Each structure stands twice: as structure tokens, then as C-alpha cells.
Amino acid sequence: MQSGRLLLIFSLLSRTAVILLLCYLAMLTSYHNLKMAYNNPRLVELDTKSKAMRVFYEKTDSFYSRFGEPEVEARKNAGMTWSIRLAGVPFTDPIAGLSVLAKSHRWKLGFGLGLIIPLSIALLFGRVFCTYICPASLLFFSISRIRRLLGKFLYLPEFNPGRGLAWGVLVGGLIAALWTGHGIWTLILPYFAIGQTLFHGIAYGTLSFAIGAIIVFSLVDLILGKQFTCRYICPTGRLLGVIGTKAPVSIRRDASLCLDSCTNCIDICPMQTKPKFDDSMDCSICGECLTLCPTKALKIGLRPRNFKS
């Protein structure tokens, strides 16, 4: 149970850190402007009348100078997380990879190399992006708690349209991207919508139209089912779930300790996996099932070689 709580706490902290990272990436727009206008920390402080802005400018300048020309390196990271470099390491969103491939029929070297780490994480650990990285899942995590509270007083349905819905969203998104451009994903992928909203708010001081998508996703989660968007709509989660179907690290069950009458792990799982029946597809290793297992029959470990999901 303790390990489950620690995982939950870590997931909350890691996703909060991602949101802070998105805010920092949006602030790099200010760094570019100050770099071009002044290129001097003292002048930055005099113009902005803010010592904090000077510290931000100096630290950013110092950090990116380790990898080359600071302004050039920072520009590779600023804005959205479609495809960026963090500390010189490339990261590319898998859906971005599919969208660019569908529209351009090729990848640039750096863009393609950026897929290695995200796909490797999915192959090793499964759908952990949803629990430890995705900033939108932090929103849906909170809404699921609100929904649980409201469920004590109101009837809230649990719709189950099936996993095929997310594949339909993916195909529809790729077709729309061919027609309108890659920007359509800010309305389809919840975490892109949050990133776009933060970017517009911090960099430009304006509201993004993507905030409408966030509101829609939130209402869907509240009305249609617990973390409905993550389970049935988000194509990234569906894709990573399939990639991580045979992930060597997963939730394991000790059948000798499992109680026949207990279904706590099934009831609590936000992704509707069934650890009791050794079903780990779509498992994001969030640890919620570990917190409720009365006999500690569940743990995180290496999947047995003869395991069949």
C-alpha cells in the first residue's frame, strides 16, 4: 500500500513539474525578445524593472550556452512540445511523428531521432506517459475525484464506447491535419490544448482558442465517465498502450495472495485494466490498485517470460 501511495505522490509531482516546464518554455519567448533587444542582463533589469527577470535571463543564457549559441539553442526549445530539445536531447511526440510522416512523407534526422526516447519508454514501461508526464491527465485525475464526490449525491453514468474510438480519433486527426495543417492537434490532444493555452497566456498574454477544447474534455470526463478522455478519446494514450502491451515492467499479481471475492483493483483502476485477471494492457503503473489491495498481492516487477496479456 505504501508503494502505491508513493507512486501517486510521485506522479502528481512529476506532472506538476511538466506544467512548470511548459511555463518555462513559454517564457523563452521573452528571453528571445530580451536577447535581441539588449543582450545584457543589466539592461534587462533596467528595462523590465525586475530583478527576477534579470535572474531568469542570466540563468537561461548560462544554461543554453553549454550547448552552443544560447539564442539558437533556446529557440529549439521554446513554445510547444511538438518536437523539442531538452539539454540537447531531442524529444518528438509520437502523434507528431505520424502527422508529419502523413503530410510530408519523411522525417528530418533530428525529428526522427526524437522518437527514440518516448517509444523506448513505452516499450519498457507501457503507458506511463499518461500518469507521469501528461499534464492533461493531472486535470482529469482531479476531475475524477470531483466526480467520485458528486457520485455520492447524483447519478453519473459510465459509458464504455470501446477502445476503437481513439483509433477513429487518430485517423480523423491525421486526415484533418492533411487538410488544415498540424495545428488541428491542439484541439484533439488534451495535453497539446493545455500547452497551447499556457503558451498563449504566458508568451502573449492572451487566451488561446484551445481553452475551448480543455473545457469540452473536462465536461466529457465529468459527465461520461472516470478519465473518459484518457481511456477512450486520446489517441496518444491508445497508441502508447498498444506499443507497451508487452512491456517487461508492469503490475504483477501473486495469485496465491489474491482473494477471490475482492475486486478492489478493478474498481479503482482509472484505465479499466483488470490486474486481478492479469490484464495489464493500458496499465500506466499509477499505483492506485496497490493502495487498495488488502493482501499486497500486487506489485511492480518484471513480467514473467511466459506471461500472456
Contact 188, 173 (CB under 8 A): yes
Kindly calculate the radius of gyration of the chain based on its CA atoms and give it in whole angstroms.
21
What are 163-199's pLDDT values in tens digits?
899 999 999 999 999 999 898 999 999 999 998 899 8
Helix/strand/coil for 92: strand
Mean pLDDT of 7-15: 92
Contact 292, 251 (CB under 8 A): no
pLDDT score for 120: 95
pLDDT score for 80: 56
Residue 306 in this model has a pLDDT that exceeds 60: no
Signed CA dihedral, 225, 226, 227, 232: sign only: negative
Mean pLDDT of 16-36: 86
User: Which cell numbers in the block locate residue 115?
Assistant: 522518437
Q: pLDDT tier at 305 (50, 70, 90 boundaries)?
A: low
pLDDT score for 36: 83
Beta-strand ranges (E) seen in 203-271 are 249-253
The model scores a pTM over 0.75: yes
Residue 3 in this model has a pLDDT that exceeds 60: yes
Chain centre to alpha carbon of residue 269: 18
Residue 257 in this model has a pLDDT that exceeds 80: yes
Rounded to an integer, what distance in angstroms lies between the CA atom of residue 102 and that of residue 180?
13
Q: pLDDT tier at 307 (50, 70, 90 boundaries)?
A: very low
State the DSSP H helix or E strand holding residue 17, giving kind and residue range, or none if neither: helix 2-37
What are 82-108's pLDDT values in tens digits?
777 777 788 899 999 999 999 999 998
Mean pLDDT of 44-57: 85
**Residues present in the chain in total:** 309
pLDDT score for 308: 47
Q: Cell match 516499450: residue?
A: 123
